Chains A and B, each alone.
Chain A
Amino acid sequence: MTEPIADSATEELLDLTVVVNGVPRHAKAPARRLLSDFLRHDLRLTGTHVGCEHGVCGACTVLVDGQPMRSCLMFAVTAQAHEVTTVEGLGAIDSMGPVQQAFIECHGLQCGFCTPGFLTTITAYLEDHPHPTADEAREAISGNLCRCTGYQNIVKSVLRAAELRAERAGTTT
Chain B
Amino acid sequence: MSALSERPANPVVGQEIPHEAASLHVTGEALYTDDLAVRTHGILHAHPVQAPHAHARITRLDPSPALEVPGVVRVLTAEDVPGVNDAGVKHDEPLFPSEVMFFGHAVCWVLGETLEAARLGSLAVEVDYEPLPSLVTVHEAIEAGSFQGGQPHMERGDIEAGFAGAAHVYSGEFEFAGQEHFYLETHCSIALVDENGQIFVQSSTQHPTETQDIVAHVLGLPSHAVTVQCLRMGGGFGGKEMQPHGYAAIAALGSTLTGRPVRLRLNRTQDMTMSGKRHGFHAQWRVAFDDTGRLQALDATLTSDGGWSLDLSEPVLARALCHIDNAYWIPNVRVNGRIAKTHKTSQTAFRGFGGPQGMLVIEDILGRCAPQLGIDPIELRSRNFYVDGQSTPYGQPVRHPERVAICWEQVLTTGDVATRKADIAAYNASHEHSKRALAMTPVKFGISFNFTSFNQAGALVHVYKDGSVLITHGGTEMGQGLHTKMLQVAATTLGVPLSTVRLAPTRTDKVPNTSATAASSGADLNGGAVKDACEQIIERLRAVAAGRLGVHPADVRFSDGHVGKVGGGATVPWADLVNQAYFQRIQLWAAGFYRTEGLHWDSSAMHGSPFKYFSYGVAASEVEVDEFTGAYRLRQVDIVHDVGDSLSPLVDIGQVEGAFVQGAGWLTLEDLRWDESDRPSRGRLATQAASTYKLPSFSEMPEVFNVALLERAHEDGAVYGSKAVGEPPLMLAFSVREALREAAAAFGPAGTSVDLASPATPEAVFWAVQEARGGAEPPHMTAMVEGAPGVVPDQPGADAAPLRPRSEQAAQPARAGT
Chain A residues in contact with chain B, CB under 8 A?
1-11, 40-41, 44-49, 51-54, 56-57, 59, 86-88, 90-93, 96, 99-101, 103-105, 107, 109-116, 119, 138-139, 141-142, 145-153
Contacts and interface: CB of A to CB of B under 8 A. Distances in A.
Contact of A4 (B34, B114, B658, B696): B114
Contacts of A142: 697-699
Contact of B28 (A3, A10, A88, A99): A88
B705 interface: yes
Contacts of A113: 32, 183-185, 234-235, 479
A110 B185 contact: no
Given A56-B689, A104-B22, A111 B705 contact: no
Given A4-B115, A44-B39, 15 more contacts: A4-B114, A5-B45, A9-B113, A9-B117, A10-B114, A46-B35, A47-B29, A52-B268, A54-B268, A104-B18, A107-B19, A110-B479, A111-B236, A149-B661, A150-B662
Contacts of A11: 116
B114 A109 contact: no
A150 B661 contact: yes
B84 to A, nearest CB: 31
A41 B38 contact: yes
A104 B479 CA distance: 13
Nearest to A59: B184
B26 A104 contact: yes
Contacts of B19: 104, 107, 109-110, 112
Contacts of B23: 93, 96, 100, 104
Interface string B233-270: 11111000000000000000000000000000001110
Contact of A9 (B29, B71, B653, B698): B71
Pairs of residues from A and B, 3 with the lowest C-beta to C-beta distance, nearest first: A47-B28, A111-B479, A113-B234
A10 B120 contact: yes
Contact of A148 (B267, B658, B707): B658
Interface of B: 18-19, 21-32, 34-35, 37-39, 45, 69-71, 112-117, 119-120, 182-185, 232-237, 267-269, 478-481, 650-651, 653-655, 657-662, 689-691, 695-699, 701, 705, 707
A1 B651 CA distance: 34
19 contacts: A3-B267, A7-B113, A41-B37, A44-B39, A57-B184, A87-B28, A88-B27, A90-B27, A96-B23, A96-B27, A99-B26, A104-B23, A110-B655, A111-B478, A112-B19, A112-B21, A142-B698, A148-B235, A150-B654
A88 B39 CA distance: 17
A128 B450 CA distance: 53
A147 to B, nearest CB: 5
Contacts of B478: 111
A5 B114 contact: yes
Contacts of A116: 28
B654 A147 contact: no
Contacts of A139: 698
A153 to B, nearest CB: 6
B28 A46 contact: yes
B689 A52 contact: yes
B657 A153 contact: yes
Contacts of A146: 184
Nearest to B695: A145
B658 A150 contact: yes
Contact of A56 (B658, B659, B690): B690
B633 to A, nearest CB: 13
B26 A54 contact: no
Given A1-B267, A56-B691, A110-B480, A149 B654 contact: yes
B691 A9 contact: no
A20 to B, nearest CB: 12
Contacts of A91: 27
Contacts of B183: 111, 113, 147
A141 B699 CA distance: 10
B698 A44 contact: no
B71 to A, nearest CB: 3
Contact of A54 (B25, B690, B695): B690
A152 B657 contact: yes
Given A109-B26, A111-B479, A8 B114 contact: yes
Contacts of B35: 40, 46
Contact of B698 (A90, A104, A138): A138
Contact of A147 (B28, B34, B116, B182): B182
A5 B71 CA distance: 11
Nearest to A154: B698
B268 A107 contact: no
B18 A112 contact: no
A40 B115 CA distance: 14
B119 to A, nearest CB: 6
A39 B15 CA distance: 38
A113 B235 CA distance: 8
B634 to A, nearest CB: 12
Nearest to B478: A111
A122 B699 CA distance: 17
Contact of B22 (A8, A57, A109, A149): A109
B46 to A, nearest CB: 12
Contacts of A138: 698, 701
Contacts of B114: 4-10
B115 A3 contact: yes
